[in-house]
Structure 1
Amino acid sequence: MNDRFTLAVTGQSLIKHDIRDIDAPAYRKVQSLLQEVDLSFTNFESTILGNHGGWPLKGSFFGCSDPVVLDTLKDIGFQALSLSNNHAFDLGPSGVLSTLEEVEKRGFLHAGLGRNHAQVSRASSAVIGGRRVAIVAMDGGPGPDFMYAADGDDNRPARPGVNRLGLSQRIEVDGIAFEQLAAIREKVGYTAIDLANDSQPDDRPHLDPQTEIAIARAVFKRSDRCGRSVRIDEADLQRNLAAIAASAENGSLVVAYLHHHHWASDWYQVPDWVSGVAKACINAGAALFVSHGAPVLQPIEIYRGRPIFYSLGNFIFHVRSETSTWTAPEVWESVIGVCVFGDDNRLVEITLHPVVIGGDAALADGVLERRLAPHLATGESAARILRRLSEQSGRLGLDIQIADGVGVIRV
């Protein structure tokens, strides 16, 4: 085993175009950074339209990519991919099979998609740079049950799909509101059969009859406050933690990955349940936890000497200008985290290299289609990104030292 192992993690890569012909120096610097480390990792935020075909299973948030984008990711410097996210099933099982085929053809270390439940439940591993590395990649949705991988039995075939961390939202209401909702449900004659019909194609939710009621797809929970909460499927969590633990026990440096869209109303806030999952993964043996979902850079925390990247935002983000949701500058800014591990898979330090998708000029002109490739940020842009990340992470007790446009975390 090498004494030191360098692993770069980035924001998610929602890539639709081949950007290998872009010759901007700031983009080339990003490539050099990712190619110089032992392993670079991103989330491939799409599905491949390939040999197995497929049909759109979504409305306006549908997305798929041609296989050539994987060549682009390879050329940028990525050797490892998470494939578990809300776009992974946009072409159905056909897209899953095409994605697996094309990713495997190019030799990526990958996790999060599989031909059945048994396959997605196992960690993926390889020896890279003299170090055994394993990845366990999960998706927390929300998404329909049919996007997640399932084993077959005598009554139904296996289903290719995503590795699930089952999460379900609860709308918390006080006692008075809960009783009013129960009375409304009773007056309109809403029954268990109605709930089963409204829940299709998924199975109806499991409810605590004393504290929970459901109307259509909304589940209300009696509480002492009004708000929202997330319930974690314990069997899914334990299954994924077991995969992490098994890999850690054989000496692997384990990357635990989670994609989800159960964000807080304030994108910059880390929900408590995410922190709980991250720390459970570290406790099980993960060397680091990486997450995407909220499309902005969120805090970094060091827990038991291991890094938690709560959200690295976006690295490549090919969306259309008409999608006005994504106009905030912070959606287009992130960092590349280069983690240095010692010979015992313990973190030594992290360097944080700020990036702006498309560079400052593209960020200023407002045309999202021009924001094609990540540029290494310098000057005031670099200072702004690192300052914001440092302030957020400082609330979690982390000190980020900033000098010459780079952030440094020493353990």
Structure 2
Amino acid sequence: MREHSELNNPVGNVDAYDKVGSLATNIADGFTLVAVGDLIVSRALTRYQHAGFDQLVRILHDADVTFGNMETSIFDIRRFDGSPQAEYGGAYHVSSPELGPDLKEMGFNILSYANNHTFDWGVEGMRETCRALEQNGIVYAGVGENQSQAGSARFLETPRGRVALVSFASTFTPMSRACDPAGEGPGRPGLNTLRLKEEIAVPLAMLDNLRAVRDALPNFNSVNSDPSPSRVTLAGVTFKTGEQVGYCYQANPSDVANILRNVRRGKQFADFCIATNHGHEPGNWCQQPPDYEQAFAHKLIDAGADAYIVHGPHQLRGIEIYKGKPILYSVGNFIMDDLRTPVGADMFEEHGRDPRIHTDAEVSVEEMAKQEETELGFSDPIFYESIIVVSRFEHNQLAELRLYPIDLGHSKRFANRGIPSLAAPEKAKSILARLKKLSRPFGTEIAIENNVGIIKR
């Protein structure tokens, strides 16, 4: 195990740190963690003969910890007391109650639940989903009746060690953010968030042009102008000087402090700690993480996390090994079986469809087409190519990552699309070649053996 001095101890006082407990990893040899991405699934899958799906289920079952991101709600729409929210995460994801036991049957035992779809169906949908997961013995994190609950680590007991999970989201609907009580004001149910301030970097000449546009607008009040000559706010967007055009992010210091404290606390009560974020920044079209995230990921590891797992962009991003700990900047999608019914009247209206004439599936196809016009949309095959990551630890150190390429069936008809299977050899090579390229800037080399990617410590 590592010495305390190697951990960049966030407690700040070594004596106090020793009394509270070590942040070192403390798992039995052979400990394995399986990580997959978004679970957008509306029905039970294990009871049917979906080609190749049983092979993946065996991989999930062979691990001590099997992790995914819960990006839907579970309830019986016929008995549901809530309603589709006016503010939703881009679509109304809903799954039948049979999904709860089916997730357990697949092998999942720990899930993140903080994301932009957590509140598609309001606090009632969140609570129903939590009950469904609890009834099936699946540990989840990232939501609660107030911020303290939503931000706290949740724990999974395994034969090789106790595992903590801290879940948060940098992409979320504003009304879904949890808060704590203050004075006589009660707390607010919701999810654990990492608020980001977004700015756009542009060369100086562009900034001068933007300032000229801003100053020429009617009713411009010079009192509200940006005090810095290196920034211009126009139509609610802040631009700043930079060498090239791009998105820049600053993480909210209070949110960062809370997340790091909860990671530290989680590790103090566990043998292994997972930190996980659901973030789409700077957009689903992008294959690189946002500019803030690498430094933030390192802080999470320094605070006690043994793995940092990101999901949200719906496609793969690179892998980094930092201080012997895996950082997965996006594990993409695992299931996109989005046969959502109903989708909610707001989605029909947004896409110019009439629920008396058109069907839910037609709205979904229209949504994909609209996204294709504005960015890399979900009709692109890249969103249906992903991986299963299996991390194995020996002597409390990462020994190996195995990357199994999967194919979610982009070419299949709508009713069968989105269910994963191991990718065919040529597609597997293509997926791994792309992941190798994306991981190289982080100093990570991926070997390929029998169409499986391998990263050795």
Q: Which TM-score band (shorter chain)?
A: 0.7 to 0.9
Q: Which residue of 2 aligns with 1:130?
A: 160
1:377 aligns with 2:377: no
Residues 30 and 251 (structure 1), Cα distance of their counterparts in 2 relative to 1, 3 Å cut = same
Checking the alignment, whether the CA contact within 8 Å between 1:123 and 1:134 is kept in structure 2 is yes
Q: Number of aligned pairs?
A: 392
2:398 to 347, 354, 378: 347
Q: Tell me what 2:333 maps to.
A: 314
Matches within 5 A, 1:8-407: 8-49=34-75, 51-58=80-87, 61-66=90-95, 67-141=97-171, 143-154=172-183, 156-175=185-204, 177-178=206-207, 181-182=210-211, 184-185=213-214, 187-190=217-220, 209-210=227-228, 212-223=231-242, 225-263=244-282, 267-319=286-338, 320-322=364-366, 323-324=368-369, 325-344=377-396, 346-358=397-409, 363-365=410-412, 367-407=413-453
Taking only aligned residues, the RMSD between alpha carbons, in angstroms, comes to: 2.6
8 Å CA contact 1:15, 1:317 repeated in 2? yes
Q: 1:60 to 1:402 in 2, by over 3 A?
A: closer
Identify which range, 385-394 or 277-286, moves more after superposition: 385-394
Q: Distance in 2 between matches of 1:208 and 1:278?
A: 31
Matched AA of 2:302: N
After TM superposition, the score normalised by the length of structure 2 is 0.79
Residues 1:147 and 1:388: Cα distance change in structure 2 (over 3 Å): same
Shifted more, 371-380 versus 331-340: the winner is 371-380
Distance in 1, matches of 2:308 and 2:285, equals 21
What is aligned with 1:199? Answer: none
d(CA) in 2 for partners of 1:224 and 1:297? 27
- Specify the SS of the correspondent of 2:315: coil
**What letter corresponds to residue 132 of structure 2 in structure 1?**
E
Q: Deviations over 1:268-308 (max 9, x none)?
A: 22333122221221121111110012111111111111111
CA distance in 2, matches of 1:281, 1:95: 30
Is the CA contact (8 Å cut-off) linking 1:123 and 1:244 kept in structure 2? yes
Structure 2 unmatched ranges of 5 or more: 1-26, 339-363, 370-376
Partner Cα distance (2:81, 2:271) in 1: 34
Residue-by-residue CA offset, 1:333-374 (whole Å, 9 max, x unaligned):
111111112353x2111111111113xxxx334x34321421
Once the two structures are TM-superposed, the CA of residue 3 in structure 1 deviates from its matched residue by: 2.2
State whether residues 314 and 331 of structure 1, in contact with CA within 8 Å, keep that contact through their aligned partners in structure 2. yes
Q: How far off is 1:215 after superposition?
A: 4.3
What letter matches 1:409 in structure 2? I
Q: Which has the higher mean CA deviation after the structures are superposed, 265-274 or 396-405?
A: 265-274
Cα 1:265/1:175, change in 2 over 3 Å? farther
How many Å separate the matches in 2 of 1:373 and 1:130? 31
- Map of 2:456 onto structure 1: 410
Distance 1:138 1:59 in 2: 17
Unaligned runs of 5+ in 1: 196-206
The code of the aligned residue for 1:396 comes to: F
Q: Secondary structure at the match of 2:126?
A: helix
Identity within the alignment, %: 30
The answer to whether the 8 Å contact 1:54/1:93 transfers is no
Instruction: Describe the superposition over 1:244-270 as per-residue Cα deviations: whole angstroms up to 9, x where unpaired.
Output: 122223442111101112125852223
CA distance in 2, matches of 1:115, 1:388: 41
Amino acid across the alignment from 2:149: Q
Q: Secondary structure at the match of 2:52?
A: helix
Letter in 2 for 1:364: S
Q: Which amino acid aligns with 1:159?
A: R
CA distance in 1, matches of 2:124, 2:238: 32
Q: Following TM superposition, by how much is the alpha carbon of 1:35 offset from its aligned partner in structure 2, in angstroms?
A: 0.9
Asked whether the 8 Å contact 1:88–1:96 carries over to 2, the reply is yes
CA distance in 2, matches of 1:128, 1:287: 16
- Residue 155 of structure 1 and its aligned partner are, at CA, apart by 5.2
Tell me the alpha carbon deviations over residues 97-118 of structure 1, each in whole angstroms, 9 at most, x when there is no partner: 2222222222211111111011
